[in-house]
Chains A and B, each alone.
Chain A
Amino acid sequence: MSGHSTQKYFKVYFALVILFLISYIVPEMMPDNKVMVLLSAFGIAIVKALMVCAYFMHLNTERKFVWYLLISCLTMMYLFYIALVPDIMRKEGHNWKSHIEVVMPENHHGHDDHHGDKHENTEHHEEKN
């Protein structure tokens, strides 16, 4: 009886390893096919996570409210994403800067202090938002 029920865990484990190998090999074999790479990587990651939740964490036999608890937290994540993505992906707009200018402090002549060496390395560069 005990051996029979542990077989179930080994079957799930082998399924997880096969899925992992697919997600590892597909990007190596076809690195230029972005759609395939992303689908195999993230699609399989979701399936693997669900399998671990259902069979290893025994959520398939757990009370429904545990699923609701965890899914509500995932929903918060999704809301966080969709609330920010329109703003983050925006390239232009009124008073909108897609690049932030980072201006390092200039060396003030006549301001003789011990930090003079540091001020010599002034930079003026741009960083993407």
Chain B
Amino acid sequence: MDSPIATSRTRTGISTGLLAVYWLMASEIVIFGGLLVCYLLFRQRNPEWAEFAALTNVHLGALNTFVLLTSSLCVVLAHHAAENKQTDKAFKLLWVTIFGGLIFLCVKSYEYYSKFSHGIDITTNPFWGFYFIATGIHGLHVIAGMVCMAVVSFQAKAGQHLNRVELVGIYWHFVDIVWIFLFPLLYIAK
């Protein structure tokens, strides 16, 4: 039976889904890039923001970096398993990745709680505005990635749409890369 969905592009030589994920990444680069460039410009103009950056918890930020790096390894292993038709292994590895995302969100929530309890919120000053917006948008991307991964994991377990494991993996790696830059920008540079 003919599928109504175009699954390949002869012009580009890569699958439609993969092409869509790369376009999504390109648009995300503009979103996060614009935000981070604005932050850099403000930071250069206001060197005293280093005092606020010193109030961020570097250890928790480092823990989250480690968690995301490990979850990136899990999702690439899930992709490898899916390629070899090891559907159960792919399913398990995707759920380990989701668990990593959950740990990340728990640590982030604790950080937010800690800031709020010290009277710091998004309106305190522009530095904290950037902090909460950048980490908040990133957190929403983590949640979106977890939801997509949960859906894809059940499809993979049933042996359907195994190519989607790679697509959701690429998205997850991108989320990891954004955090790789947020960590030094918001936590280390003082």
- Do A and B belong to a common assembly? yes
**Chain B minimum-CB-distance residue to A129:** B45
- The number of chain B residues touching the other chain, given as a range, is 35 or more
| B22 is an interface residue with CB less than 8 A from chain A | yes
CB neighbours of B173 from chain A (8 A): 52-53, 56-57
Tell me the complex Cα distance, A24–B58, Å.
8
Tell me the complex Cα distance, A37–B54, Å.
14
| B102 is an interface residue with CB less than 8 A from chain A | no
* Stretch in B24-32, B111-119, B154-162 touching the partner: B24-32
- Are B180 and A88 touching (Cβ within 8 A)? no
A69 to chain B, nearest CB (A): 5
| B73 is an interface residue with CB less than 8 A from chain A | yes
Contacts A13-B73, A56-B72, A63-B13; is A74 near B41 (CB within 8 Å)?
Answer: no
Contacts A52-B72, A52-B177; is A88 near B184 (CB within 8 Å)?
Answer: no
Of B44, B45, B174, B188, which is within 8 A of A27 by CB?
B188
Tell me the complex Cα distance, A81–B26, Å.
18
Contacts A31-B190, A52-B177, A85-B44; is A13 near B84 (CB within 8 Å)?
Answer: no
Dominant SS among interface residues on chain A: helix
- Are B180 and A49 touching (Cβ within 8 A)? yes
Of A17, A49, A65, A129, which is within 8 A of B177 by CB?
A49
CB neighbours of B144 from chain A (8 A): none
Of A5, A20, A88, which is within 8 A of B66 by CB?
A20
CB neighbours of A9 from chain B (8 A): 73, 76-77, 80
Tell me the complex Cα distance, A24–B33, Å.
23
A104 to chain B, nearest CB (A): 16
| B132 is an interface residue with CB less than 8 A from chain A | no
Of B22, B58, B77, B180, which is within 8 A of A52 by CB?
B180
State which residues 45-101 of A face B: CB under 8 Å. 45, 48-49, 52-53, 56-57, 62-63, 65-66, 69-70, 72-74, 76-77, 80-81, 84-85, 88-89
Of A27, A48, A70, A74, which is within 8 A of B22 by CB?
A70
CB neighbours of B40 from chain A (8 A): 81
- Are A23 and B33 touching (Cβ within 8 A)? no
CB neighbours of A121 from chain B (8 A): none
- Write the residues of chain B forming the contact surface with A, with a CB cutoff of 8 angstroms: 12-14, 22-23, 25-27, 29-30, 33-34, 36-37, 40-42, 44-46, 58, 62, 65-66, 69-70, 72-73, 76-77, 80, 84, 169-170, 173-174, 176-177, 180-181, 183-184, 188-190
- Write the residues of chain A forming the contact surface with B, with a CB cutoff of 8 angstroms: 2, 5-6, 9-10, 13, 16-17, 20, 23-24, 27-28, 31, 37-38, 41-42, 45, 48-49, 52-53, 56-57, 62-63, 65-66, 69-70, 72-74, 76-77, 80-81, 84-85, 88-89, 128-129
